[in-house]
């Protein structure tokens, strides 16, 4: 069934719940990666403000990495309940793993103009690490530093596009990418991919869908919203005649109860 949504409506409906990044325009690769992490569940403006605050309040990302999550969480308010602490923990874990596995905190991940054999090797290791973490990072970080907005083919992008009716059920990842390129204007593609990856990872899983929690369920042709159970029927009014065993017993008991004189 064709989609009832435009890509613009998809972004608008999803951002309050899942957040969004609208452009990949940070100067440093690691700043961009942190912005993507912050923007999960935070609207773009709040995520960017949180990034600026971190850069202002801490010496560097290593300083952020060793800060307790509950302290960082204070700057991440504005998302769903409980998301600020979860986000702080995720950020500390992401930075710590980057630090330990790559032994540096300034991975400039998308710059082809500075490519050397060493940087190419580092970049492919980093991309493999990001793919382990999230399809969102793996698909958007290669676009950091690119001249034009592009779409990166991925099963996690194809799945929600199929379910939302943007592409046919058996569409390949490559044809889903082509469709999204045609259906989006430059400037819309980064945000569209961001929210589609968020939908895929949070509610529209390969095996489990949580359509009742999906912000675009009302316009999704594949939505399966659980039907609430019917309200309990009110108890039938008594007709005055005994209708149950207990009532019969009560009337019999009355007859046998000795009367006071
Ligand atoms: S409503 Fe359900 S099937 Fe449709 S995109 Fe959301 S989670 Fe996926």
Cα→Cα distances 126→97, 112, 173, Å: 11, 14, 23
Has residue 3 got a pLDDT over 50?
yes
In contact, 96 and 154? CB cutoff 8 Å: no
Q: Looking at residue 56, what DSSP letter applies?
A: H
pLDDT for res 99:
85
Whose CA is closest to 139, among 93, 209, 55, 200?
Answer: 200
Whether the predicted pLDDT of 102 surpasses 80: no
Measured from the CA of 203, which atom of ligand 1 is nearest?
Answer: 7
Q: What domains can you pick out in the chain, each with its CATH number? A: 1-13+147-223 (1.10.1670.10), 25-145 (1.10.340.30)
Confidence of residue 114 (pLDDT cuts 50, 70, 90): low
Q: Is the pLDDT at 73 greater than 80, yes or no?
A: yes
Is residue 213 within 8 A of residue 203, CB to CB? The reply is yes
Ligand 1 centroid, distance to 92 Cα (angstroms) = 30
| pLDDT at 245 (0 to 100) | 45
Q: How many CB atoms lie within 10 A of CB 110?
A: 20
CB 78 within 8 A of CB 42: yes
Give the Å distance between the CA of 64 and the centre of ligand 1. Answer: 36
- Interval between CA 131 and ligand 1 midpoint (Å): 23
Taking residues 181-189, report their average pLDDT: 91
- pTM for this entry: 0.80
Report residues whose beta carbon is within 6 angstroms of any ligand 1 atom: 160, 163-164, 199, 203-204, 209, 211, 214, 216-217, 220, 222-223
pLDDT tens profile 26-52: 988 889 999 999 999 888 899 999 999
Q: Average pLDDT for residues 184-206, to the nearest whole number?
A: 94
| pLDDT value of position 239 | 52
What average pLDDT does the segment 81-108 reach? Answer: 82
Q: How many CB atoms lie within 10 A of CB 158?
A: 23
Dihedral pair phi/psi, residue 204, rounded to 5°? -115, 65
């Amino acid at each position: 069934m064709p989609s009832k949504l435009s890509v613009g409506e998809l972004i608008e409906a999803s951002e309050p719940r899942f957040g969004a990044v609208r452009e990949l325009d940070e100067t440093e690769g690691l700043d961009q990666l942190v912005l993507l992490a912050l923007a999960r569940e935070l609207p773009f403006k709040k995520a960017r403000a949180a990034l600026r605050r971190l850069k202002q309040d801490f010496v560097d990302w290593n300083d952020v990495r060793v800060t307790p999550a509950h302290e960082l969480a204070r700057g991440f308010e504005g998302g769903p309940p409980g998301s600020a602490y979860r986000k702080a923990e995720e950020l500390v874990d992401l930075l710590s793993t980057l630090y330990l596995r790559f032994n540096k905190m300034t991975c400039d991940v998308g710059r082809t103009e500075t490519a050397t054999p060493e940087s190419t090797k580092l970049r492919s290791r980093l991309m493999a690490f990001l793919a382990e973490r999230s399809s969102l990072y793996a698909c958007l970080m290669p676009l950091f530093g690119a001249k034009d907005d592009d779409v990166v083919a991925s099963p996690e992008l194809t799945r929600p596009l199929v379910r939302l009716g943007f592409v046919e059920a058996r569409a390949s990842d490559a044809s889903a990418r082509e469709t999204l390129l045609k259906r989006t204007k430059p400037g819309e593609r980064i945000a569209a991919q961001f929210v589609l990856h968020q939908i895929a990872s949070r509610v529209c899983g390969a095996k489990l869908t949580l359509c009742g929690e999906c912000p675009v369920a009302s316009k999704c042709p594949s939505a399966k919203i659980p039907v609430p159970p019917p309200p309990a029927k009110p108890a039938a009014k008594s007709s005055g005649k005994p209708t149950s065993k207990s009532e019969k017993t009560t009337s019999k008991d009355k007859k046998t109860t000795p009367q006071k004189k």
